[in-house]
Structure 1
């Protein structure tokens, strides 16, 4: 594993609004016990013809633009705190606990090759973990954001760690878009004014439901035990690029349409449904018969974004900055996914759950309780979105990243973001006993 040396640990501190304390909602509360999001962005020298500025100048630009971004997104510079008087958890953006700013780490590595890290399909897990900062989340007050900028051999890495009770995946990309636009002085591309008032998420039960959810999943506050600790071994991870052509062909096969002009027997799936179905079927096939029998129930879990959904009255603004996701769980018999038309069967099951969630987005708001009884060795989890335009929004002024990856991944996890050319990046974490078989099934189904 490459050696990464810490050069400087500082803080980016900005004036915070007075008396700004944002109480967590019931959608935020479970994430106090599952808090960590870590993502790395890799920038390779001369990629796309873009020259990086000198490292010291690059760091100064990132630091200054981060300060400007935090002034617009004050929860990121705050702390997640426990309010003993009421039993709430909240984001303190202005008090003595919330004024510490954001930890900003500068590091360097002479043997971590940016081009190799960005180009290899198989992740260098140890290197990726060394390129993102840790986040102090074991007890409240907990940090919300930390940043690490690392000089690599032939490039630069920007790593971020964020608290999931404060942001979901969409909010992460809203933050990165705002930070990148500020860094390149592009006011036109900046994120529109956001709202982070949790009161706009109209959940029946309101504040009392948030408190009871907090007691359920984090009963020992201010200690915040992680219900999903990291695996003791570094599980293999691999990234696939599914092109727009592959996605179209996959949708055609699932709908029963062929290139010969045969009419479709089912509606065309969305890109998300198509790729989630392929990943689920590949997961089941890779574990059959050693770990999954044909008669077993198998599951896929994913989140939906509740912003703008008509099932919440009034609908949550598209510019809501926070955690605004609920769960979707799909069950099927393994034999159905092992059949010749298994991917199509998986797609049909997922599509039914997507329709259910569109009509009732809060139906599975307590997703952690639902997942608690599912056999994890028969569960694949889909995170991210085919709509996250990762490679479009994260240009800090020296070109789009050559690679971005979620570092916090566990066994059976699949993470999606959009690619630069209309395709989808699919990153998969699987136990070594099944990873080779998964890769084979997934790739063969795209051909």
Structure 2
């Protein structure tokens, strides 16, 4: 039994390494295939994409995995989650399509950005579908299939980018940024098809959905929404902060500094963050594995093994994050030159390396708080971190100019992670009768 678990864990980590390597290769393709201006435009619109993904998914994937881990009678909640996702996805696509001209002219102050925004539209239903499939597979504890889907996603995106970059030499920066944005839809489509094939969905099971909708009750929706809404709130706050950050930054500085600030924003988000967040491929994988496994032990009153699992994964994530941070701190210019064939932002990378050790702990800490039914508290931690980040951008931009981006990013991330850790530690200190679930 232990040997089987060890082999499965090693296989999962290996697949995660391959998926992250493929994801990073996509970043390299984008950085080398697009100009700095195109990368900056792509980075500027990416927060809008993240908000739409958050709204379309509504935290349903993680909610499905938790509901399925808690009990065996999950069919009705699963159908309610599917129906809710369909409604939110359709509404999001329609409203976003209507407001694209408004966003490009009044918020981004550049009508040409609308072609990048239109490239996001096909992504919304695809990411909602792939999220449902991933939540189902994680709930069934098919972690290998879920991780394999990430490899399929990145492989499809790489193939698309390699094929198109060789044939679009005359594209301007806006068209190149739109092409890069559309490549995400290609990857999500391939991932969703792969997961649906792995789930062996029969026509009869799909046919049962319309007949099951009238039988759904409020309690079936509540089982999902009580988990998904707090999780969505936390993610939406983070995405909305990222969306507001460049807009506030540009609004509070002189117009003559706009080009420099947009370039700095593109360097941080396009070049530096992929290096700083490199450990996330393992920490997110471990946290996705942690939520169902931790919940399974927790709701069966196996608190001792649940805590051992928690400590083991947090320690592993901290070790992984420390190793990556040391490399970024010691060799910033060499890393940028190796991957991107340029060394812009090397000094900023060195300054952010050590604080970003804490970032490796954020995914597992968030998963643990959700499993402990502390989603609301996790949401407030995210709010406070986001407010601190916006505070830095709003009040320090005139003084620090481009450096304010790294200051706000680091301050918000550290505050959220530390608050998560304090809440989890407090829960461990006050658990009673072999369980540290909150009292009813």
TM-score, normalization by structure 1: 0.32
TM-score, normalization by structure 2: 0.32
Q: Which has the higher helix share?
A: 2
Q: Which has the higher strand share?
A: 1
